[in-house]
């Protein structure tokens, strides 16, 4: 996701913001072979550095990661690929150990990479010399070290003042190549927006409608996404009846992988467009910090993780942050569905979980999800106002 951080020179008050542009690559056969060699060299250097680190730790009880230059004499094929890709693997391994030592309960110990399970990708940083940068884009191509000009299709172009920092080349399971271009720009921080109840929306996750807003609005996934999922199930049934290893089976597997990527792109397009519409229309968004992984284990019907709601919340967060709008998160243990949004009565936890229920105190009739969205909005605004009051008093 795009990120924001403080600039090193705070004289003008600007901040550094990162944007990523994804492009489709169409390499030649020689360039594709170079990419494949780079993928393999990155896996090789990662596994060798990790194995030597473990051996060094056992022998000396100290943490040390060798640099990629140590292995070039015994593995001359490492000289045929971009040196920046190997350096980035060393930086990634060092970062993996840093976060592991910082919080072992949250981050796992770095593991060895396997060709069948890990994705094929490498990262290279852009270095600027007097003769020019090592990586740059043209009208229909990207210039890379060792590979030269690689034909590409751009969905959008960088704006004026954007500086190309690094690229990440990735190969999907279906065999297509993509490049993620990271740009850096210095922008002025957005003016903080103070939300009001009229300009704030509360969103409740819904398995049936993706989300339900406090005003009753719903965001049902597009019908074409459901058709693609039905087509995927049909291909899976045909695969089960085919002989593994046959030509028909291999062709069906390829169609299955392409359709998986197509569904992922459709879901990503829906999430980005929906989050952009909400971020532009409202001054603040209140959501509940639902643990989707736990919900997927508890609910046996439906696929919670397949909906992409976690990605939707992250897209909302950074898009609101760029506009100076607050993204308010409510505790997931707060009884939003059992609390009356009119009088505040909290129903007993043993009460039946009907879609609609009537408050025994005030007699208000509530839709379960809309009522929860109203409570999420009220709780989020209360926490925001209380935090602002504590800051002013401090």
Domain boundaries, the chain: 21-166, 197-220+280-393
Over the stretch 218-247, which tens digit does the pLDDT of each residue have?
887 777 667 887 888 888 888 888 888 888
Pairing, β 200-206 against β 284-288? parallel
User: The pTM is what?
Assistant: 0.84
- For residues 338 and 103, what is the distance between their CA atoms, to the nearest angstrom? 36
Whole-number Cα distances in Å, 379 to 123, 285, 287, 385: 43, 12, 10, 10
- For residues 220 and 206, what is the distance between their CA atoms, to the nearest angstrom? 10
Average pLDDT of the chain to the nearest whole number: 88
Tokens standing for residue 381: 């605004």
- For residues 47 and 75, what is the distance between their CA atoms, to the nearest angstrom? 13
Q: Residue 106 phi/psi, 5° resolution?
A: -95, -40
Q: Residue 377 phi/psi, 5° resolution?
A: -65, -45
**Residue 378 — very low, low, confident or very high, per pLDDT cuts 50/70/90?**
very high
Over the stretch 284-309, which tens digit does the pLDDT of each residue have?
999 998 887 777 777 665 566 677 88
Whole-number Cα distances in Å, 48 to 73, 84, 363: 14, 17, 68
Cβ atoms of 141 and 150 within 8 Å: the answer is yes
Count how many residues are written for the chain. 394
Phi and psi based region of residue 111 (left: phi greater than 0; alpha: psi -120 to 50; beta: remaining): beta
């Amino acid at each position: 996701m795009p990120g924001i951080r403080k600039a090193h020179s705070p004289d003008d008050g600007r901040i550094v913001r990162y944007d990523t542009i994804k492009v489709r690559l169409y390499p030649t056969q020689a360039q594709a072979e170079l990419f494949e060699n780079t993928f393999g060299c990155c896996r090789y250097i990662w596994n060798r550095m990790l194995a030597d680190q473990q051996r060094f730790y056992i022998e000396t009880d100290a943490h040390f990661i060798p640099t990629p230059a140590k292995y070039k004499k015994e593995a001359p094929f490492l000289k045929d690929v971009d040196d920046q890709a190997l350096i980035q693997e060393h930086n990634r391994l060092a970062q993996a150990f840093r976060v592991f030592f910082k919080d072992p309960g949250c981050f796992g110990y770095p593991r060895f990479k396997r060709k069948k399970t890990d994705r094929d990708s490498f990262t290279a940083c852009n270095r600027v010399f007097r003769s020019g940068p090592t990586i740059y884009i043209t009208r229909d191509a990207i210039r890379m070290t060792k590979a030269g000009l690689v034909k590409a299709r751009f969905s959008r172009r960088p704006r004026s003042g954007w500086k190309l920092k690094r690229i990440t080349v990735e190969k999907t399971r279906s065999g297509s190549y993509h490049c993620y271009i990271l740009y850096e720009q210095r922008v002025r921080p957005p003016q903080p927006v103070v939300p009001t109840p009229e300009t704030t929306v509360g969103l409740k996750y819904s398995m049936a409608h993706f989300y339900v807003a406090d005003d009753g609005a719903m965001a049902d996934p597009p019908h074409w996404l459901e058709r693609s999922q039905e087509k995927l199930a049909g291909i899976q049934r045909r695969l089960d009846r085919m002989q593994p290893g046959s030509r028909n089976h291999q062709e069906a597997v390829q169609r299955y992988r392409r359709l998986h990527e197509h569904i992922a792109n459709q879901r990503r397009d829906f999430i980005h467009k929906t989050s952009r519409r909400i971020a532009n229309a409202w001054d603040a968004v209140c959501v509940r910090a639902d643990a989707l992984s736990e919900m997927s284990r508890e609910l046996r019907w439906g696929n919670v993780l397949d909906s992409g709601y976690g990605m939707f919340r992250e897209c909302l967060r950074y898009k609101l942050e760029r506009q100076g709008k607050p993204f308010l998160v409510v505790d997931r243990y707060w009884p939003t569905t059992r609390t009356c949004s009119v009088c505040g009565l909290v129903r007993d936890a043993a009460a039946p979980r009907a879609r609609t229920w009537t408050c025994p105190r005030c007699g208000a009739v509530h839709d379960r999800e809309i009522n929860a969205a109203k409570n999420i909005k009220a709780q989020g605004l209360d926490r925001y106002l209380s935090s602002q009051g504590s800051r002013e008093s401090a």
